[in-house]
Structure 1
């Protein structure tokens, strides 16, 4: 008798369903258990408000979490960068997939690169983090808040509404739109959002993992988990929302973990950067994650001493909300 399909909850957007299908296929490959996608509409998908006007964090994940808690779905897949750092009661992360390319990408008219955009060019982004860091590099550009899925945002370039948009490279890969990329931002220029490029699998803690999914850990990548945990600790220590102007990026190279973090004023006028490296030689996943967490807390404390918390608070006051990012 074959196992009943696992019900995997996902947002309805093309990007969300594409990435959820990747996880579903991996689960089936490792466990032999079929997985059915259950499409869920979140408040963040239907509201017409700009992201910086939405109160609180989690506008793209709360509907999925409600379905989990009600038992309507067995697991949910989230873009980790959308997931609030505060744990949800009754729910836990059972897997974080191997991270895809975490960088941000520019999609501009006429194949333009970022350095070649003319002064006054309109760059669309729903992310205060992206706008703040890029405004510091190019204060002569106009950064315009935009909404919609990747296709909708790219259409704004094609129609001439904006000269360029900035999107996550990994997301463009997932929806097959890499041909639209005209430039890719290295972390030295634009630090990614904490968790960008990684997917998180969440379920009810009372079950630990759903029935027949004991090997779900096979889709969990230990080094990715350690790296993104460090990034999210920086965000949590700064008491910042998912779309605050905070960038953080951790990399595991052989026996070292390198963490970089930045908080930038929304107008690009002030920036606080920190970087640290710790040894992870010989550690298992738990040890590496604990070491990475310690480094993240240290860097966050140093940033607060320089006023990073005030920059975050000022960004929230300007937008009227903690500002979840997509």
Structure 2
């Protein structure tokens, strides 16, 4: 009899919902039984600003530790939380089809960004969202916030804030999509690399499970997020500026093409490097590396020198 797979997950409503989706897919598509195992991460315990905690990895390290010590067999992450550097002993076995990657506004009275009066208070915990919002020049007051989706939306319903920015994917997965008052066009606000996608990791030496989970992988999603994350990886070597990137695989005259747009900004949104690239999906990593290098050459590395 096959062992019950232990799936490591954070305990938040969104994390358990996302992990539950993967567990259901494993049960129905792969015929294996799964149980969720809650793992507490640094990002769950430390309520300070994510950027000051190091940002990337604060929701991931404890789950990876649980994988490596054998407490769990696989783990599910929001892909945008994963460090771009691989970890020894762990394999990214599957990236399932992506949810809508866009950011959304949840605002009072059903307002859109353009309808919010100057001086309105808009909350976000993301330097990327804050910088792009500032760059739009709408005269809004940007307020740093933390907390789960329900807590953040509560700041709007209570009147503490006029609006908040969130990932649409999280609202969709929680069944709260109708609470968004506007889905933001990526031309206005590019999402975080990997936003809307999930990552399913397991131990590299668990060859049977690596092979099993590969059936959940979506090639187009993997190509897109690989390209986005390579831009981030390339820029992180010389740039700590807020970064947005969105790639997609599209049908073209001569087969599939991968298109990517990326933006790096100063913290206050006053300086912007925005570029795009295209190529074959099989060269996703190479496209991302070249685009990142071009952005560095165009001044992305200097952006954090602007006053924040």
Does residue 294 in structure 1 map to residue 286 in structure 2?
A: yes
Alignment partners' CA distance in 2, 1:184 and 1:264: 21
C-alpha change, 1:240 and 1:115, in structure 2 (3 Å) is farther
Q: Which residues of 2 match residues 91-110 of structure 1 at below 5 A?
A: 91-110=90-109
Q: Which residues of 2 match residues 50-89 of structure 1 at below 5 A?
A: 50-55=49-54, 57-89=56-88
The offset of 1:27, in angstroms, is 1.1
Gaps of 5+ in 1: 281-287, 319-326
Does residue 258 in structure 1 map to residue 250 in structure 2?
A: no
Q: Secondary structure at the match of 2:236?
A: coil
**Runs (4+) of structure 1 moved beyond 4 Å?**
none
Q: Which residues of 2 match residues 301-312 of structure 1 at below 5 A?
A: 301-311=293-303
Alignment partners' CA distance in 1, 2:57 and 2:211: 28
Q: Which residues of 2 match residues 199-278 of structure 1 at below 5 A?
A: 199-210=198-209, 214-239=211-236, 245-254=242-251, 255-278=256-279
Alignment partners' CA distance in 1, 2:14 and 2:42: 17
The offset of 1:214, in angstroms, is 3.5
The offset of 1:314, in angstroms, is 4.3
Alignment partners' CA distance in 1, 2:89 and 2:277: 34
* Contact 1:9 1:39 (C-alpha < 8 Å) held by counterparts: yes
Q: Secondary structure at the match of 1:160?
A: coil
Q: Secondary structure at the match of 2:131?
A: helix
* Contact 1:139 1:268 (C-alpha < 8 Å) held by counterparts: no
The offset of 1:52, in angstroms, is 2.2
Does residue 114 in structure 1 map to residue 113 in structure 2?
A: yes
User: TM-score when scaled to structure 2?
Assistant: 0.94
Gaps of 5+ in 2: none
Tell me the equivalent position of 2:135: 136
* Structure with bigger RCO (C-alpha 8 Å, 6+ apart): 1
Residues 121-156 of structure 1, C-alpha deviations (whole Å, 9 max, x = no match): 111000000111111113411111100000000001
Tell me the equivalent position of 1:284: none
Alignment partners' CA distance in 1, 2:84 and 2:302: 19
Tell me the equivalent position of 1:167: 166
Does residue 17 in structure 1 map to residue 16 in structure 2?
A: yes
* Contact 1:94 1:208 (C-alpha < 8 Å) held by counterparts: no
Tell me the equivalent position of 1:152: 151
Does residue 197 in structure 1 map to residue 189 in structure 2?
A: no
Q: Secondary structure at the match of 2:225?
A: helix
**For the aligned residues, what is the CA RMSD?**
1.9
Q: Which residues of 2 match residues 315-326 of structure 1 at below 5 A?
A: none
Residues 136-177 of structure 1, C-alpha deviations (whole Å, 9 max, x = no match): 113411111100000000001011111101000000011111
Alignment partners' CA distance in 2, 1:293 and 1:103: 22
